[in-house]
């Protein structure tokens, strides 16, 4: 392998330049800025997935895309096609004259924050440059609403701010030491917002007397009325939109200054340092006051989030425009479907697609008269557009056909469960305790214990999946049990396995 394949910090997480071996072939994850890609990029992914992989494309729970089944020996050609489509972190490999075959293609052990090799000159400039580009791909982890800039309830258009944050993450070499799982949430106050995913740093727009401010919290989620998810710190401080990037930079440097070598997430640092201590340390990096604001102790998000707005047609803030969304079954697309979505976006929208953290697809900027044609097109492509459709309330990991750690074919089992799932019931099927399909705590989880056999958990405020309420259920038995929630309450078993108390740590 070329010297440029040496990485600053190896990782088991797949990326554009790091194809990780899975049971069904190579797995490549393509990080999308704000979840967006052009129709041309969508076509490039579809074509490359057919030419160099198995044609299976998945929307992830961070609004990215991943391609499964990349064929051995074709990794470099596959990467080259995606880089030429502008899907790399900065286009730096091409600009530097490096061949895509110089990129990293490996299944590496867990992440490390050691960048000493580049700092001490052990890599030549080309190798260090390629490794830095790999790291820039790793840290592109900023989540915003798929309806950013278009949601009628938004207080602030987070799209441009997201672009600034992504540029910041990729421009400072020190940030290459961050884990590929270290993630930021930028919430503009939209109703279509995923705010139950824990993030290392979150910012949420709020209306103040002097205009919009962003409140900030660490290792958790923006609190909202009735929320049950754990939050380590709540809202700590508030800054002006123009100060957001400087604040994020200060918090990232603070993390790297203070975290132990094996600490990869903000919650690990908070186990040894108070939030006030982190703010005090971050103050040295900014020129505006930064300390805990006592008035925010009970702050809650002002607008209730509604995930169903990702489906069907919804009015945008711009007059006479709509966005239309559909859910591919269990988040999985094939090349023909992705081509079809690109065509719909070009014919009736603004020529772009927005992936969502619910593993669905949104087409923005549709004129009122085009809405029926787009909804029909989504349905014909096999996407669900109505929240009443049970498949929109099911999530499942890759399962035993794609992952050696999975104990069951969760995808097939979820499709078997869907016709029997009652309205209002949301279920997560996980092939092992790592919970790769869900960063949030689902109301119900079926955890595989053997092929076709699952333990049923109900979320109840406990860590991980919640309380185990039934053991070794077949899918038919699970359907019967889920059909009687009162029976689940009556049979509740409060014990949970200790090894699932950090499920979001292992999530892609």
| Same-domain pairing of 260 and 321 | no
Has residue 24 been placed in a domain?
A: yes
- The C-alpha atoms of residue 308 and residue 386 are separated, in whole angstroms, by 8
Same domain, 63 and 191: no
Question: Residues 189, 322: one domain?
Answer: no
Q: How many CA atoms lie within 13 A of 358 on its CB side?
A: 30
Domain assignment present for 194: yes
User: What domain count does the chain have?
Assistant: 4
How confident is the model over 155-199, as pLDDT tens digits? 999 999 999 999 999 999 999 999 999 999 999 999 999 999 999
Running DSSP on this structure, what letter comes out for residue 406? -
Does residue 399 form part of some domain?
A: yes
The percentage of the chain sitting over the pLDDT mark of 90, rounded to a whole number, equals: 76
Note whether 380 and 327 are same-domain residues: yes
Residue ending a domain, among 114, 133, 152, is 133
- For residues 312 and 503, give the distance between their C-alpha atoms in angstroms, rounded to a whole number: 31
Which domain CATH number covers 47?
3.30.70
Question: What whole-number distance in Å separates Cα of residue 77 and Cα of residue 236?
Answer: 47
Domain shared by 382 and 398, yes or no: no
Q: Among 34-38, 88-92, 203-207, 308-312, where is mean pLDDT lowest?
A: 88-92
| Same domain, yes or no: 354 and 404 | no
* Whole-number Å distance between alpha carbons of 428 and 459: 11
pLDDT confidence of residue 105: 42
Both tokens of residue 266? Answer: 């903000």
The average pLDDT across 477-483 equals: 95
The partner residues of 158 in beta bridges, in order of sequence, read none
For residue 476, is it within any domain? yes
Query: pLDDT band at 132, cuts 50/70/90?
Result: low
pLDDT band at 133 (very low <50, low <70, confident <90, very high): confident
Q: How confident is the model at residue 496 (pLDDT cuts 50, 70, 90)?
A: very low
Residues 22 and 93 in one domain: yes
Which 3 state secondary structure label does DSSP give 148? coil
- Please tell me the distance from the alpha carbon of residue 213 to that of residue 82, in angstroms, as a whole number: 37
Question: Are 210 and 257 contained in the same domain?
Answer: yes
In this predicted structure, the answer to whether residue 121 has a pLDDT above a threshold of 80 is no
Same domain, 465 and 360: no
Same domain, 113 and 161: no
Strand partners, 36: 354
Residue 208: burial class (beta carbons within 10 Å; 0-12, 13-18, 19+)? exposed
| Residue 460: predicted pLDDT | 79
Q: Is residue 41 part of a domain?
A: yes
pLDDT in tens, 347-395: 999 999 999 999 999 999 999 999 999 999 999 999 999 999 999 999 9
pTM to 2 decimals?
Answer: 0.88
As given in the structure block, the two tokens for residue 349 are 């929208």
- Tokens found for residue 262: 């094996």
Q: Which CATH number characterizes residue 235's domain?
A: 3.30.413.10
Residue 498: which domain range? 392-506
Q: What pLDDT does residue 129 have?
A: 55
Of 365, 386, 407, which residue sits at a domain end?
A: 386
Could you read off the pLDDT of 234-290 as tens digits, one per residue?
Answer: 899 999 999 999 999 999 999 999 999 999 999 999 999 999 999 999 999 999 999
| In a shared domain, residues 122 and 16 | yes
The answer to whether residues 356 and 430 belong to one domain is no
Question: Mean pLDDT over all residues of the chain?
Answer: 87
Tokens 């498949």 locate to: 391
Asked whether residue 303 is domain-assigned, the answer is no
pLDDT for the residue 232: 64
Examine residue 304 and state whether it is found in any structural domain, yes or no: no
Query: What's 375's domain CATH number?
Result: 3.90.480.10
Tell me the sheet residues that pair with 362.
Answer: 325, 354
Pick left, alpha or beta for residue 222 (phi over 0 → left; psi -120 to 50 → alpha; otherwise beta): beta
Q: What are 220-224's contacts with CB under 8 Å, separation 24+?
A: 221/185, 221/195, 221/196, 221/197, 222/185, 222/187, 222/195, 222/301, 223/299, 223/300, 223/301, 224/195, 224/300, 224/301, 224/304, 224/305
Average pLDDT score over residue span 314-326:
98
Residue 13: which pLDDT band, with cuts at 50, 70 and 90? confident
CB neighbour list of residue 480: distance below 8 Å, 6 or more residues apart: none
Which helix (DSSP H) or strand (DSSP E) does residue 239 occupy?
strand 237-239
In three-state form (DSSP H/G/I as H, E/B as E, the rest C), the secondary structure along 194-207 is CCCCCEEEEEEEEE
Question: Please, are residues 397 and 410 in contact by the beta-carbon 8 Å criterion?
Answer: yes
- pLDDT, average across residues 89-96: 51
CA angle 231, 237, 240 (to 5 degrees): 125
301 in a domain, yes or no?
no
> Mean per-residue pLDDT for 464-475?
94
């Amino acid at each position: 392998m070329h010297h440029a394949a040496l990485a600053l910090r190896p990782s088991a997480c797949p990326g554009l330049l790091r194809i990780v071996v899975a049971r069904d072939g190579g797995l490549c994850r393509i990080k999308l800025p704000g979840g967006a890609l052009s129709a041309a990029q969508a076509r490039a992914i579809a074509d490359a997935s057919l030419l160099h992989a198995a044609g299976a494309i998945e929307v992830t729970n961070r609004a990215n895309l991943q391609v499964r089944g990349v064929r051995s020996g074709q990794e470099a050609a596959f990467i080259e096609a995606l880089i030429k489509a502008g899907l790399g972190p900065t286009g730096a490999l091409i600009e530097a004259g490096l061949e895509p075959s110089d990129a990293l293609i490996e299944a590496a052990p867990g992440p490390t924050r050691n960048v000493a090799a580049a700092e001490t000159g052990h890599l030549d400039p080309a190798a260090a440059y390629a490794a830095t580009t790999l790291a820039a791909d790793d840290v592109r982890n900023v989540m915003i609403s798929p309806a950013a800039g278009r949601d009628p309830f938004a207080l602030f258009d987070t799209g441009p701010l997201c672009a600034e944050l992504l540029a910041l993450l990729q421009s400072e070499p020190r940030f290459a030491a961050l884990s590929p799982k270290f993630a930021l949430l930028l919430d503009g106050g939209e109703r279509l917002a995923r705010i139950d995913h824990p993030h290392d740093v979150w910012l949420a727009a709020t209306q103040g007397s002097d205009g919009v401010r962003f409140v900030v919290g660490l290792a958790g989620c923006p609190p909202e009325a009735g929320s049950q998810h754990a939050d380590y710190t709540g809202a700590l401080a508030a800054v002006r939109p123009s100060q957001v990037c400087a604040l994020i930079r200060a918090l990232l440097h603070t993390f790297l200054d203070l975290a132990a070598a094996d600490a990869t997430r903000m919650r690990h640092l908070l186990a040894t340092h108070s939030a006030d201590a982190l703010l005090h340390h971050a103050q040295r990096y900014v020129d505006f006051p930064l300390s805990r604001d006592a008035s925010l102790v009970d702050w809650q998000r002002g607008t209730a989030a509604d995930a169903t707005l990702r489906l069907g047609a919804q009015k945008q803030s711009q007059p006479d425009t709509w966005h239309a969304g559909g859910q591919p079954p269990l988040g999985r697309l094939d090349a023909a479907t992705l081509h079809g979505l690109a065509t719909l976006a070009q014919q009736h929208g603004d020529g772009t697609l927005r992936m969502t953290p619910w593993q669905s697809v949104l087409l923005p900027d549709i004129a009122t008269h085009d809405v029926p044609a787009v909804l029909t097109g989504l349905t014909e492509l096999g996407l669900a557009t109505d929240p009443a459709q049970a498949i929109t309330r099911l999530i499942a990991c890759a399962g035993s056909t794609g992952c050696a750690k999975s104990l069951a074919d969760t995808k097939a089992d979820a499709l078997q469960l869907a016709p029997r799932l009652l309205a209002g019931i949301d279920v997560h099927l996980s092939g092992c305790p790592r919970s790769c399909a869900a960063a949030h705590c689902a109301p119900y989880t079926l955890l595989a214990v053997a092929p076709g056999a699952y333990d049923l958990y109900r979320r109840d405020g406990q860590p991980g999946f919640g309380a185990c309420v039934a053991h070794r259920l077949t899918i038919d038995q699970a359907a019967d049990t889920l059909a009687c929630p009162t029976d689940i309450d009556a049979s509740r078993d409060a014990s949970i396995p200790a090894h699932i108390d950090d499920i979001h740590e292992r999530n892609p």
